[in-house]
Amino acid sequence: MSASKLDITKSIDTCGDVCPMNMVKTKFALKDLSTGEVLQVMLCGGEPIRNVSRSVKDEGHRIVKLDKQDDDTFIMLIEKGE
């Protein structure tokens, strides 16, 4: 699967960050976007994915895609909410 159909406005890599830094980085990156724009986040499985997806949803944004990479990391596409 590829994410190329969606226009990605910004991209960040949170692999290597410990919780809750991945969440905080994602939050700040989303701040800079306008509603409807898409943020691409690279993150690790397990706790980071749980925390980031929960907080993204709680704040009214929408995860539009999640792709697992060969090295067990993930690429998450988040559409900025209102």
Partner 1 sequence: MTDKIIDYEKLKSGGFMRQLQQGQFALRLRIVGGRVEADQLRVLADAAEKYGDGHIHITSRQGVEIPFVNIDDVNNIGHDLVDVNLRRGTCGPRVRGVVACQGNTVCPRGLVNPQDLAQKIDEKYFAAPAPHKFKIGITGCPASCLKPQENDFGIMGGVEPKWIEDLCIICGLCQEVCRMDAIKVEDGTVYFDREKCDLCGDCIASCPTDAWENVKTGYTIFIGGKIGRKPKLGTKFVELVDEDTLFDILERTLNFYRENAKSGERIGETIDRLGIEIYKEAVLK
Rule CB under 8 A: say whether 63 interacts with partner 1: yes
**Could you tell me the smallest distance in angstroms from the CB atom of residue 5 to partner 1?**
13
Instruction: State which of positions 21-60 bind partner 1 (CB under 8 A).
Output: 45, 49-50, 53-54, 56-58
Q: Is the dihedral of CA 46, 52, 55, 60 positive or negative?
A: negative
Binding site for partner 1 (CB under 8 A): 45, 49-50, 53-54, 56-58, 62-66, 68, 74
